[in-house]
């Protein structure tokens, strides 16, 4: 931790490394914990005071007594899911409203974004990405197309803006011939929009830079992993946000010179959820045993995670892309019962090898 600087804590392969747990461990050292990318596709599991919480949009610093938590401009947020998540914390006695600020520039995930996510996946058939179904891709697409709704929009003429966006989405859904019913979902979503108004909705980039100028320390909490990054991952089988160190700058509005340490988290073995290349995947009893011992089932979707040995080629690539200064290895105990542990040091593509040299 350095005063007046941002440290980044990132998943450096396919996500699900246990970032929430590590952020929770680091939180007492930092004044601010901020999420900079992604949304409720994440599921950061934390056991606090003996109770299990799965945080989707709320930063994992929320259990810190004096920690300010920020959902940054690079994030996407679903008001209904956010409300459920925050209320669960409130019911357990945590004061969320005084400790969580939300960027006015973060984008809103609409119920019709989720319907579009499902419709696009259905249309792709066997080429589907295997998304979490939370509307992430369609929301970031609207952001890039400059047609999205942002958190700040809920403060001014919202009904009108929402109706226009919904109609635009419904035209696409009709063209795709996709059947959906968002009636109940929409009621909760609109209640979530009202609920969000009780939180400080801020110009978070100004706020964070001001705090840094005062010498405060910030931990940027990543979501997903490098190989799911829109630019640097296994495109098109990726998520739609910037999950890497570059995403910290754009997703919080801080300059690269403000970043000090980059903590890269990985597991002693590999997992991947959803479709896409996974060279180290084990299709045998060893893969099943790793899944069982490591409890490798999705925190958000409950899906079986694909399992394999540690991939040093991917790890080396991620260290390079993110400028990792410190590596944190998780879940090595899961491998205790295996007499032999393997790691991947090279890929062979059509008899050509790309190798990670042992001294590197
Ligand atoms: P989306 O982010 O829901 O659009 O999903 C795109 C891809 O990223 C799918 O393969 C998902 O399984 C994967 N994905 C999204 N969020 C996570 C995560 O938090 N952990 C692991 N995989 C994820």
Separation CA 7–CA 103 (nearest Å): 19
- Residue 356: per-residue pLDDT: 57
284 catalytic residue (yes or no): no
Produce one character per residue of 44-58: b if its CB has 16 or more CB atoms within 10 Å, e if not: bbbeeeeeebebbbb
186-225 pLDDT tens trace: 999 999 999 999 999 999 999 999 999 999 999 999 999 9
- φ, ψ for residue 44, nearest 5 deg: -95, 110
How many whole angstroms separate alpha carbon 187 and alpha carbon 160?
A: 16
Reduced to 3 states (helix: H, G, I; strand: E, B; else coil), residue 344 is strand
Name the residue at shortest CA distance from atom 16 of ligand 1: 41
Q: Report how far ligand 1's centroid is from the alpha carbon of 14 (Å).
A: 8
What pLDDT is stored for residue 5 in this prediction?
97
Number of other CB atoms surrounding residue 345 within 10 Å: 16
- Check: CB of residue 267 under 8 Å from CB of residue 307: no
Ligand 1 centroid to 287 CA: how many Å?
20
The whole-number pLDDT of residue 272 equals 95
Instruction: List ligand 1's pocket residues with C-beta within 6 A.
Output: 14-16, 41-43, 129-132, 134, 136-137, 223-224, 228, 239-240, 273-274
What CA–CA distance (Å, rounded) separates 208 from 218? 8
Q: What is the DSSP string of 224-240?
A: S-GGG-TTTSSTTSS-S
How far is it, in rounded angstroms, from Cα 51 to Cα 74? 29
| Residues 21, 29: Cα–Cα separation, whole Å | 14
What is residue 11's predicted lDDT score, i.e. its pLDDT?
95
Strand partners, 48: 51
Centre a 10 Å sphere on the Cβ of residue 191 and count the other Cβ atoms it contains. Answer: 13
Query: Which residues, including other chains, have CB under 8 Å from residue 154's CB and lie 6 or more apart?
Result: 108, 193, 196, 197, 201
Closest among 304, 300, 301, 272 to 291, alpha carbons compared: 304
Q: pLDDT for 107-149, tens place per residue?
A: 999 999 999 999 999 999 999 999 999 999 999 999 999 999 9
Query: Annotated catalytic residue: which of 7, 24, 31, 44?
Result: 44
The segments of the chain whose pLDDT lies below 70 read: 353-360
Q: Residue 104: phi, psi to the nearest 5?
A: -65, -20
| pLDDT score recorded for residue 246 | 98
Q: How close is the Cα of 42 to the center of ligand 1, in Å?
A: 7
Neighbours of 353 (CB within 10 A): 9
Write the residue with the smallest CA distance to atom 2 of ligand 1: 239
Q: How far is the CA of 41 from the centre of ligand 1 (A)?
A: 6
Q: In angstroms, rounded to a whole number, what is the distance separating the alpha carbons of residues 246 and 10?
A: 11
Q: In this structure, what are the phi and psi dihedrals at residue 266, rounded to the nearest 5 degrees?
A: -140, 165
Active site (annotated) includes residue 44: yes
Task: For 11-68, give the DSSP string.
Answer: E-SSS-S-HHHHHHHHGGG-SEEEE-SB-TT--EEEEETTEEEEESSS-GGGGSTT-E
| DSSP letters spanning 71-131 | E-TTBEE-HHHHHHHHHHHHHTT---TTTEEEETTSEEPPHHHHHHHHHHHHHHGGG----
What is the structure's pLDDT at 354?
66
Two tokens at 6?
């941002």
Give strand ranges (E) for 168-305: 201-202, 218-221, 259-267, 269-272
- Backbone φ and ψ for 274, nearest 5 degrees, come out as 90, -175
Provide the 8-state DSSP code for 150: B
- Cα-based angle 120, 244, 277 (whole degrees, multiple of 5): 50
What's the confidence (pLDDT) of residue 358?
A: 45
- What's the mean pLDDT when you consider all of the chain? 94
Which SS3 state, helix, strand or coil, does residue 132 take?
coil
């Amino acid at each position: 931790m350095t005063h007046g600087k941002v440290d980044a804590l990132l998943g450096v392969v396919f996500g699900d490394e246990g970032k929430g747990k590590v952020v929770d461990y680091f939180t007492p050292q930092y004044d601010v914990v901020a999420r900079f990318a992604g949304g409720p596709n994440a599921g950061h599991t934390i056991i606090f005071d003996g109770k299990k919480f799965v945080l989707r949009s709320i930063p994992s610093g929320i259990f810190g007594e004096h920690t300010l938590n920020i959902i940054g401009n690079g994030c996407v947020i679903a008001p209904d899911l956010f409300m459920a998540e925050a209320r669960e914390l409130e019911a357990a006695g945590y004061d969320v409203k005084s400790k969580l600020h939300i960027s006015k520039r973060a984008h809103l995930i609409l119920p019709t974004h989720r319907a579009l996510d499902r419709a696009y996946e259905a249309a792709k058939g066997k080429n589907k990405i295997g998304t979490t179904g939370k509307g992430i891709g369609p929301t970031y697409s609207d952001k890039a197309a400059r047609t999205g709704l942002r958190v700040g929009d809920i403060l001014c003429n919202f009904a009108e803006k929402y109706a226009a966006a919904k109609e635009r989405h419904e035209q696409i859904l009709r063209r795709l011939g996709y059947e959906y019913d968002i009636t109940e979902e929409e009621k909760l979503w609109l209640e979530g929009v009202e609920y969000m108004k009780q939180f400080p909705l801020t110009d978070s980039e100004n706020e964070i830079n001001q705090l840094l100028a005062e010498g405060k320390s910030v931990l940027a909490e990543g979501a997903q992993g490098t190989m799911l990054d829109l630019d640097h991952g296994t495109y098109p089988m990726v998520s739609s946000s910037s999950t890497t160190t570059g995403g910290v700058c754009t997703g919080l509005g801080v300059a690269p010179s403000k970043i000090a340490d980059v903590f890269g988290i990985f597991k002693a073995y590999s997992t991947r959820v959803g479709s896409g290349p996974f060279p180290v995947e084990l299709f045998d009893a060893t893969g099943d045993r790793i899944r069982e011992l490591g409890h490798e089932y999705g925190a958000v979707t409950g899906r079986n995670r694909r399992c394999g040995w540690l991939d040093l080629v991917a790890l080396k690539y991620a260290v390079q892309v993110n400028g990792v200064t410190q590596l944190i290895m998780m879940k090595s105990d899961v491998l205790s019962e295996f007499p032999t542990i393997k790691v991947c040091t090279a890929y062979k593509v059509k008899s050509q090898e790309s190798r990670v040299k042992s001294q590197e």
